[in-house]
Amino acid sequence: MADSDIYDTPFASVPTKMQDVLPTVTISEVDDASPAEANAGLYETTLEVLGKDLNIVFPPKTAQEKESIYEEVGTLRKSNPTQQQAVEELIKTEKSYLQTLLLLASDIQDRVKQIHGIDVEGLFSNLNEVLQVSRAFLKELEGVDSEQPNQLLQISQVFLEFTEDLENVYKVYCANYEKAVLLLESYKKQGVDQEILHILQLTAPHFNAQNLSFFLVMPVQRIMRYPLLLKHILGTLPSNDIAYSSLQRALAAMEELNCNINEFKRCKEVATKYTKVEDLSLMERLSRLNKHTISKKTMRLSQRLKQEAGLVPRTESKEFDVLVEKFQDLTSQVTHLKENLTTYLKNLEVFLIVTPHTCELDITDGPVQQYRCFAESLHQITFLEFRRRLERVVFQPLCSLEKSLTGPQQLIKKRLVKLLDYEQLQEKKRESGIVTYEDETAMSTYRAIDSMLLAELPSVNEVAHKWLGQILRAFVTLQRDLAKQVLQVAGDQLSKSPHSHVPTSAFWKLTEDALHQFGPQLSEFCKNFEQVLPSPSVQLLSPTTKQQIMSLVKKYGPDKVYQVTGNISGSRDMDLTLQKGQVVALLHDTDTKGNRNRWLVDTGGTNTQQQP
């Protein structure tokens, strides 16, 4: 069987629940010897009384009728070699399969991990989970006593109990199997397959495997073989056997399990197709337009306009709307948090650019040197470590969370588009009663996307909520750690101060005295600094400019008049071109669209928009 055909053959539909067609009796009730023979003295009187009563209600049967009954009981009691062989095949093949899984999950997987550039998770998927469930499943099968008459009942019960666990692990593995095959093909082109083949020859030479897909396909084949094995066992039983109905339920469960795996795989393929984000240019988008795409977009627009006008009903799903609303809230929170954190990191970079400890003030001792040591410790150790941890523990996980939410968001958008197609095709089906194969495929695509979102969005919302909460807790923890570290460094420097052991009241008294002492010196320094500074150059204004400024001040007030600090070149209609030094009056600090980067100003002659 080719790898591509493993999902193509659907199993026959079998009811998931079946009623028992035989009374609940056990083999031991048929095979037990007569109680009178084993305990004649104990039951003799009771049997005589019961025999007389039964002969009254049910007349004794003839010898011919007794013989037919004994033949029927003998048929049930008779051991079936084919049946036992079928059971042994099930357990034997399961044991061999588990041994191969152990080899694949331990020796082969561990060695493949050592090859550089190998996507181990993509190749082996959830193989370890499959191994864990298979080990528990085999343990239960081997625990069934072959000597017990209800052996088949117990086997069927094992299958029914493990149905959910088997489906949960195998649907993930089977859905990722094709990805593993594509990876192996890419490794073959790169020449890495020879390293993998060398590992297979070392760890499993008796299999004579030519590539890793020989082992990777085994779980896919095994889950498909369970219905065949059960059907083989069922074929060895007569329809009136006590285990027949139970085995039928187990067979139906395994067939339904395989159908669910195929459906999950199909939904996964649809989701993967529509969650890809393509960054296309305008020309690339235009090149994809054709008659078919234009027709589809026109029909969708028409359907949407009909819904808005109330001409056709709109399909609503309260469950889906609640899930999407919660998802959109989480997405918005993640986006805003990332924007704020990006600004925070930029401000932190600006703060770290200023390095006061590198300034040379020709002061070799005293409080100045203590402050330099304090600032140096913070800038070179504390703040740098804080930034590194902030990026690694908070920012990078937040970026990963935002990226992981992109796929579901794309799928939600695609679901809304496909819903318009689905509603239109449903209307067409009601009117004509006929749909084409393409129409049925489109309807099936919408149902697949809708079912996938309804099944996966709850877990996506839960995981995203926990992830976001963990990121926020990490951010708060980092802030607390930073505060503790700064206080510790400050405490170390304070302990070296000559006034570190002075009481608080006395310390503040010393501080006030110091301020009063150095206050006059600071004032004198400021006066000397002003005297040393060159006088600002005075720009002579023309009479026209003076008249213009006086007009603006009189009309708008001095608080509305500004001087242009740099040359401005207008690039749009109604934009002004202004030279450095010109004076304008502010009318509005935003444009008509609320943009604060463009002002409406009056130059004394024209009102127009201008960037501040």
Residue 79 has pLDDT above 70, yes or no: no
- How many angstroms from the chain centroid is the CA of residue 526? 63
**11 with 259: CB under 8 angstroms?**
yes
- For 350-373, how does the pLDDT look when each residue is reduced to its tens digit (9 = 90+)? 888 877 767 766 666 667 777 777
The candidate with the shortest Cα–Cα distance to 215, out of 170, 181, 265, 190, is 181
The pLDDT confidence band at residue 13, using thresholds 50, 70 and 90, is: very low
Based on the domain organization, do 269 and 320 belong to the same domain?
no
CATH number of the domain at 379, please.
Answer: 1.20.1270.60
Based on the domain organization, do 442 and 560 belong to the same domain?
no
d(C-alpha 564, C-alpha 557), whole Å: 17
d(C-alpha 21, C-alpha 344), whole Å: 72
Which domain-ending residue is among 249, 274, 299?
Answer: 274
Three-state DSSP at 607 gives strand
Whole-angstrom CA distances from 181 to 200, 212, 498 are: 16, 9, 74
- Take residue 476 and report the two structure tokens written for it: 């708060």
- Take residue 424 and report the two structure tokens written for it: 């239109």
Based on the domain organization, do 130 and 212 belong to the same domain?
yes
The candidate with the shortest Cα–Cα distance to 373, out of 385, 362, 387, 358, is 358
Residue 318, in any domain of the structure: yes
Residue 579 has pLDDT above 70, yes or no: yes
Based on the domain organization, do 342 and 258 belong to the same domain?
no
**130 with 169: CB under 8 angstroms?**
yes
The candidate with the shortest Cα–Cα distance to 492, out of 381, 592, 384, is 381
What integer pLDDT is reported at residue 64 of this predicted model? 47
Higher pLDDT: 1 or 239? It is: 239
Residue 295, in any domain of the structure: no
What integer pLDDT is reported at residue 71 of this predicted model? 40
What integer pLDDT is reported at residue 573 of this predicted model? 64
**493 with 373: CB under 8 angstroms?**
yes
**405 with 330: CB under 8 angstroms?**
yes
The pLDDT confidence band at residue 559, using thresholds 50, 70 and 90, is: confident
Residue 392 has pLDDT above 90, yes or no: yes
Q: Buried (b) or exposed (e) across 21-56, using 16+ Cβ within 10 A?
A: eeeeeebeeeeeeeeeeeeeeeeeeeeeeeeeeeee
Backbone dihedral region for residue 608 (phi beyond 0: left; psi -120 to 50: alpha; all else: beta): beta
The pLDDT confidence band at residue 285, using thresholds 50, 70 and 90, is: low
What integer pLDDT is reported at residue 281 of this predicted model? 67
Residues in the chain: 612
Alpha-carbon dihedral 112, 116, 121, 122, rounded to 10 degrees: -100
Higher pLDDT: 549 or 33? It is: 549
pLDDT (mean) for 100-129: 91
- Lowest-confidence region among 160-174, 176-190, 202-216, 435-449: 435-449
Residue 505, in any domain of the structure: no
Q: Is the pTM of this model over 0.75?
A: no
**170 with 259: CB under 8 angstroms?**
no
Residue 110 has pLDDT above 80, yes or no: yes
d(C-alpha 311, C-alpha 322), whole Å: 26
- For 226-248, how does the pLDDT look when each residue is reduced to its tens digit (9 = 90+)? 999 999 999 888 888 888 899 99
Higher pLDDT: 67 or 249? It is: 249
User: Phi and psi (nearest 5°) for 535?
Assistant: -70, 140
Based on the domain organization, do 318 and 269 belong to the same domain?
no
d(C-alpha 385, C-alpha 378), whole Å: 10
Residue 66, in any domain of the structure: no
The residues with which 578 forms a beta bridge, in sequence order, are: 568
What integer pLDDT is reported at residue 16 of this predicted model? 37
The pLDDT confidence band at residue 465, using thresholds 50, 70 and 90, is: very high
- For 316-347, how does the pLDDT look when each residue is reduced to its tens digit (9 = 90+)? 788 888 999 999 999 999 999 999 999 999 99
- Lowest-confidence region among 72-86, 90-104, 424-438, 530-544: 72-86
d(C-alpha 55, C-alpha 51), whole Å: 6
Based on the domain organization, do 588 and 448 belong to the same domain?
no
Residue 43 has pLDDT above 50, yes or no: no
Whole-angstrom CA distances from 199 to 120, 177, 193 are: 14, 20, 10
Sheet holding 561-563, edge to edge: 561-563, 583-588, 599-602, 607-610
The candidate with the shortest Cα–Cα distance to 152, out of 237, 239, 255, is 237
What percentage of residues in the chain have a pLDDT greater than 90?
A: 30
User: Phi and psi (nearest 5°) for 550?
Assistant: -65, -35
The pLDDT confidence band at residue 8, using thresholds 50, 70 and 90, is: very low
CATH number of the domain at 578, please.
Answer: 2.30.30.40
Based on the domain organization, do 179 and 108 belong to the same domain?
yes
What integer pLDDT is reported at residue 75 of this predicted model? 40
Side chain identity, residue 288: R
Residue 389 has pLDDT above 50, yes or no: yes
Based on the domain organization, do 471 and 555 belong to the same domain?
no
- Take residue 431 and report the two structure tokens written for it: 């009117």
Residue 386 has pLDDT above 90, yes or no: yes
Burial of residue 333, with CB atoms counted within 10 A of its CB: 0-12 exposed, 13-18 middle, 19 or more buried:
middle
- Take residue 222 and report the two structure tokens written for it: 């095994």
**589 with 574: CB under 8 angstroms?**
no
Domain count, the chain: 3
Residue 595 has pLDDT above 90, yes or no: no
pLDDT (mean) for 155-180: 93
The candidate with the shortest Cα–Cα distance to 492, out of 357, 377, 381, is 377
Based on the domain organization, do 428 and 571 belong to the same domain?
no
Based on the domain organization, do 148 and 262 belong to the same domain?
yes
What integer pLDDT is reported at residue 270 of this predicted model? 79
Which domain-ending residue is among 477, 495, 513?
Answer: 495
Based on the domain organization, do 102 and 205 belong to the same domain?
yes
Residue 125, in any domain of the structure: yes
The candidate with the shortest Cα–Cα distance to 220, out of 177, 269, 278, is 177
d(C-alpha 103, C-alpha 113), whole Å: 14
Residue 108, in any domain of the structure: yes
- For 120-158, how does the pLDDT look when each residue is reduced to its tens digit (9 = 90+)? 999 999 999 999 999 999 999 998 877 777 889 999 999
Render 146-169 in DSSP notation, one character per residue.
TTSTTHHHHHHHHHHHTHHHHHHH
Residue 509, in any domain of the structure: no
The residues with which 602 forms a beta bridge, in sequence order, are: 585, 607
The widest CA-to-CA distance across the chain, in whole angstroms, is: 142
Residue 200 has pLDDT above 80, yes or no: yes
Residue 410 has pLDDT above 70, yes or no: yes
d(C-alpha 269, C-alpha 273), whole Å: 6
Side chain identity, residue 175: A
Contacts of residue 557, Cβ cutoff 8 Å, sequence gap at least 6: none
Please report which helix (H) or strand (E) contains residue 246, including its range. Answer: helix 244-274
Higher pLDDT: 610 or 181? It is: 181
* Average pLDDT over the chain, rounded to an integer: 79
Q: What is the DSSP letter of 575?
A: B
Structural domain of 220 = 3-32+79-274
**Torsion sign across C-alpha atoms 286, 287, 291, 293:** negative
Higher pLDDT: 222 or 561? It is: 222
The residues with which 607 forms a beta bridge, in sequence order, are: 602
What integer pLDDT is reported at residue 477 of this predicted model? 95
Contacts of residue 131, Cβ cutoff 8 Å, sequence gap at least 6: 98, 101, 102, 105
The candidate with the shortest Cα–Cα distance to 316, out of 191, 419, 468, is 419
Which domain-ending residue is among 244, 274, 304?
Answer: 274
The pLDDT confidence band at residue 18, using thresholds 50, 70 and 90, is: very low
The pLDDT confidence band at residue 117, using thresholds 50, 70 and 90, is: confident
**Cβ neighbour number for residue 140 with a 10 Å cutoff:** 15
CATH number of the domain at 220, please.
Answer: 1.20.900.10
What integer pLDDT is reported at residue 451 of this predicted model? 84
What integer pLDDT is reported at residue 103 of this predicted model? 93
The pLDDT confidence band at residue 586, using thresholds 50, 70 and 90, is: confident
The candidate with the shortest Cα–Cα distance to 260, out of 10, 541, 612, is 10
The pLDDT confidence band at residue 452, using thresholds 50, 70 and 90, is: confident
What percentage of residues in the chain have a pLDDT greater than 70?
A: 79
Based on the domain organization, do 146 and 230 belong to the same domain?
yes
Residue 164, in any domain of the structure: yes
Whole-angstrom CA distances from 462 to 281, 323, 335 are: 35, 11, 17
